[in-house]
Protein backbone atom coordinates (compact mmCIF):
# COMPACT_ATOMS: atom_id res chain seq x y z
CA UNK A 1 0.00 0.00 0.00
CA UNK A 2 1.30 3.43 -0.91
CA UNK A 3 1.74 6.02 1.76
CA UNK A 4 1.27 9.73 1.42
CA UNK A 5 5.00 10.36 1.28
CA UNK A 6 5.41 8.13 -1.81
CA UNK A 7 2.74 9.81 -3.91
CA UNK A 8 3.43 11.58 -7.20
CA UNK A 9 3.26 15.32 -6.65
CA UNK A 10 2.74 18.11 -9.18
CA UNK A 11 1.31 21.66 -9.26
CA UNK A 12 -2.43 21.77 -8.67
CA UNK A 13 -4.97 22.78 -11.31
CA UNK A 14 -8.68 23.09 -10.49
CA UNK A 15 -9.64 20.81 -13.40
CA UNK A 16 -8.10 17.87 -11.54
CA UNK A 17 -11.15 18.02 -9.30
CA UNK A 18 -13.44 17.19 -12.21
CA UNK A 19 -14.79 14.20 -10.27
CA UNK A 20 -16.63 16.72 -8.07
CA UNK A 21 -18.82 17.77 -10.96
CA UNK A 22 -19.37 21.41 -11.84
CA UNK A 23 -17.22 24.45 -11.30
CA UNK A 24 -19.13 25.48 -8.17
CA UNK A 25 -18.38 22.16 -6.45
CA UNK A 26 -14.68 22.36 -7.36
CA UNK A 27 -14.46 25.95 -6.12
CA UNK A 28 -16.29 25.09 -2.89
CA UNK A 29 -13.91 22.20 -2.24
CA UNK A 30 -10.75 24.24 -2.81
CA UNK A 31 -11.91 27.19 -0.72
CA UNK A 32 -13.00 24.86 2.06
CA UNK A 33 -9.60 23.13 2.02
CA UNK A 34 -7.81 26.49 2.29
CA UNK A 35 -10.02 27.61 5.19
CA UNK A 36 -9.61 24.25 6.92
CA UNK A 37 -5.82 24.48 6.61
CA UNK A 38 -5.78 28.00 8.01
CA UNK A 39 -7.99 26.94 10.92
CA UNK A 40 -5.93 23.84 11.72
CA UNK A 41 -2.62 25.50 12.51
CA UNK A 42 -1.12 28.96 12.78
CA UNK A 43 1.86 27.65 10.77
CA UNK A 44 -0.19 27.66 7.56
CA UNK A 45 -0.13 31.13 6.02
CA UNK A 46 -1.48 30.44 2.54
CA UNK A 47 0.38 29.79 -0.68
CA UNK A 48 0.40 27.45 -3.63
CA UNK A 49 -0.86 23.86 -3.45
CA UNK A 50 0.10 20.67 -5.25
CA UNK A 51 -2.02 17.71 -6.21
CA UNK A 52 -0.69 14.37 -4.97
CA UNK A 53 -1.63 11.07 -6.62
CA UNK A 54 -1.16 8.07 -4.34
CA UNK A 55 -2.61 4.59 -4.59
CA UNK A 56 -5.09 5.55 -7.31
CA UNK A 57 -6.54 8.59 -5.54
CA UNK A 58 -5.60 12.26 -5.36
CA UNK A 59 -5.44 14.82 -2.60
CA UNK A 60 -4.19 18.37 -2.16
CA UNK A 61 -1.08 19.41 -0.23
CA UNK A 62 0.64 22.76 0.36
CA UNK A 63 3.49 23.24 -2.12
CA UNK A 64 6.17 23.76 0.49
CA UNK A 65 8.94 21.96 2.34
CA UNK A 66 7.81 23.54 5.62
CA UNK A 67 6.37 21.53 8.47
CA UNK A 68 3.15 22.34 10.27
CA UNK A 69 2.79 22.22 14.05
CA UNK A 70 -0.43 20.46 14.97
CA UNK A 71 -0.82 20.06 18.70
CA UNK A 72 2.37 18.41 19.92
CA UNK A 73 3.27 17.00 16.50
CA UNK A 74 4.92 18.25 13.33
CA UNK A 75 3.47 17.22 9.98
CA UNK A 76 5.22 17.63 6.66
CA UNK A 77 3.24 19.25 3.84
CA UNK A 78 2.15 15.91 2.36
CA UNK A 79 0.83 14.60 5.68
CA UNK A 80 -0.84 17.91 6.47
CA UNK A 81 -2.43 18.00 3.01
CA UNK A 82 -3.71 14.46 3.41
CA UNK A 83 -5.36 15.47 6.69
CA UNK A 84 -6.88 18.60 5.19
CA UNK A 85 -8.19 16.71 2.17
CA UNK A 86 -9.81 14.04 4.34
CA UNK A 87 -11.39 16.62 6.63
CA UNK A 88 -12.66 18.66 3.69
CA UNK A 89 -14.11 15.60 1.96
CA UNK A 90 -15.82 14.50 5.16
CA UNK A 91 -17.45 17.88 5.64
CA UNK A 92 -18.54 18.35 2.02
CA UNK A 93 -19.58 14.80 1.07
CA UNK A 94 -23.17 15.19 2.35
CA UNK A 95 -23.52 18.62 0.72
CA UNK A 96 -22.03 17.95 -2.72
CA UNK A 97 -23.85 14.69 -3.41
CA UNK A 98 -21.02 13.17 -5.48
CA UNK A 99 -21.29 9.36 -5.37
CA UNK A 100 -17.58 8.67 -5.96
CA UNK A 101 -16.53 10.99 -3.14
CA UNK A 102 -17.17 8.39 -0.43
CA UNK A 103 -14.96 5.87 -2.28
CA UNK A 104 -12.15 8.40 -2.62
CA UNK A 105 -12.51 9.38 1.01
CA UNK A 106 -12.31 5.74 2.14
CA UNK A 107 -9.12 5.26 0.11
CA UNK A 108 -7.53 8.40 1.60
CA UNK A 109 -8.45 7.25 5.11
CA UNK A 110 -6.80 3.89 4.33
CA UNK A 111 -3.63 5.67 3.26
CA UNK A 112 -3.72 7.81 6.41
CA UNK A 113 -4.17 4.77 8.67
CA UNK A 114 -1.04 3.19 7.20
CA UNK A 115 0.97 6.43 7.48
CA UNK A 116 3.67 6.75 10.16
CA UNK A 117 2.19 10.14 11.17
CA UNK A 118 -1.39 8.80 11.39
CA UNK A 119 -1.93 10.18 14.90
CA UNK A 120 -1.07 13.71 13.76
CA UNK A 121 -3.12 13.32 10.58
CA UNK A 122 -6.21 12.19 12.46
CA UNK A 123 -5.75 14.86 15.11
CA UNK A 124 -6.23 17.42 12.32
CA UNK A 125 -9.10 15.46 10.73
CA UNK A 126 -10.96 15.18 14.03
CA UNK A 127 -10.46 18.78 15.24
4-125 topology per CATH: Alpha-Beta Plaits (3.30.70)
Of 48, 80, 54, 51, nearest to 67 by C-alpha is 80
Domain boundaries, the chain: 4-125
Tell me how many degrees the CA angle 77-80-86 measures, rounded to the nearest 5.
135
Task: Give 15-54 pLDDT, tens digit per residue.
Answer: 677 777 788 888 888 899 999 999 999 888 888 898 888 8
Give the chain's mean pLDDT.
85
Residue 7: pLDDT band with limits 50, 70, 90: low
Query: So what's the pLDDT on residue 11?
Result: 64
- pLDDT at res. 79: 95
Q: What is the pTM of this model?
A: 0.86
- Cα dist from 61 to 40, 79, 84, 95, whole Å: 14, 8, 8, 22
- Cβ atoms 81, 49 nearer than 8 A: yes
Amino acid sequence: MATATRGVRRPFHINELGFLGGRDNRHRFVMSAYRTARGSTTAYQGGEWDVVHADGVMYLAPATSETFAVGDQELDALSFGLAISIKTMRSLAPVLGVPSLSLRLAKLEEIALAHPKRDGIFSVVNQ
